[in-house]
Homo-oligomer: A and B are copies of this chain.
Amino acid sequence: MTITSLTGVIPPVCTPLTPDREVDVPSLLRLVDHLVAGGVHGLFVLGSTSEAAYLTDEQRRLVVGSVAAHVGGQLPVLAGAIDMTTARVLGHVAAVSAAGADAVVVTAPFYARTHPAEIARHYRAVAGASPVPVVAYDIPVAVHTKLPADVVLELAADGVLAALKDSSGDLAAFRQVVTGARTHQGITGFSVLTGSELIVDAALAVGADGTVPGLGNVDPHGYARLDRLCRAGEWDEARAEQERLCALFGMVTVGDPARMGAGSSAIGAFKAALHLRGVIDCPATAQPQVPLSQGEVERVGKYLAAAGLL
């Protein structure tokens, strides 16, 4: 893989589990086939939507190895190396690249308090020891720090970072990186990807290279179509498709907030949808997430039906 291949739709792949919470490899590979058939351009395993934060190191290796072997180089496989600080991240980088990942996706330090200078040191140290390109993962809701645009651009110019995956929801800051990557001296081939699945049309319009939509697990055809429409400049049709996907995304709110957090509800809904669509065998989510109730799963089904997916 060259870093210039990071364009198009690269969904964060859900990690199907068995009822006793082991990785369900057959379901995982069916999900990969479903995504490839949907027209996606790459796969991002071990992201937040993949429940990377919940998987053991062995489970993580199993996921990367299974997916990489299954796709056999057909399309790039990015793998999260999600951990608190440099040395721990480097352990994951070694493991997932040995298991076949084409690039690693790395956040700012978390749990530990951090600072822009330390974030830069972190990425420099990771990239210095990584056998594959490093993608910065900006996800303030998880790490409680926003990657500063100037730090990202400086690291891009120095060849430390190959791409940015931005899940901050802040399109103005995203645009700053997009235009900076185009105009900043010394940056070539840097990809800027958005994780904001509800404003993909807007992100592509401002110049994003690609998108990493969690909802793409449920409807990969929709996101592939949206990507094509945007690239063709068919903005009105793109907006209509995006709005259809926004309505479908409403499924993430089915979980009762008195009984569970927003993560349990969202991941639970995606997995319930994949189960209802016949892609995976079991909708279980990892501990300590709270499972959806029967009624909540039925509401997921209604979202699918309304979007013409059932």
Residues of A within 8 A of B (CB): 21, 48, 53-57, 59, 82, 84-88, 91, 109-115, 117-119, 121-122, 125, 141-144, 169-172, 175-176, 179, 196, 198-199, 201-202, 205-207, 233, 235, 239, 243, 246, 258-264, 286-290
Contacts and interface: CB of A to CB of B under 8 A. Distances in A.
A170 to B, nearest CB: 6
A89 to B, nearest CB: 10
Given A114-B263, A118-B261, A239-B205, A86 B246 contact: no
Nearest to A59: B87
Contact of A115 (B55, B110, B264): B264
B172 A54 contact: no
A108 B297 CA distance: 27
B114 A261 contact: yes
A261 B115 CA distance: 5
Given A53-B112, A175-B198, 14 more contacts: A48-B111, A53-B88, A54-B112, A59-B87, A86-B286, A112-B142, A113-B263, A115-B260, A115-B264, A119-B288, A121-B290, A122-B288, A175-B199, A258-B258
Per CB-CB distance, the 7 closest pairs between chain A and chain B, nearest first, are A115-B261, A121-B288, A122-B288, A86-B287, A172-B198, A113-B263, A202-B202
Contacts of A262: 113
A74 B179 CA distance: 38
Contact of A179 (B176, B207, B243): B243
A115 B233 CA distance: 42
Given A176-B246, A235-B235, A117 B87 contact: no
A76 B90 CA distance: 32
A86 to B, nearest CB: 4
Nearest to A123: B288
A54 B287 contact: no
A232 to B, nearest CB: 12
Contacts of A119: 288
18 contacts: A53-B88, A54-B86, A54-B88, A56-B87, A59-B87, A109-B288, A110-B110, A110-B111, A112-B263, A112-B289, A113-B141, A114-B261, A121-B290, A171-B196, A172-B196, A201-B206, A207-B239, A258-B258
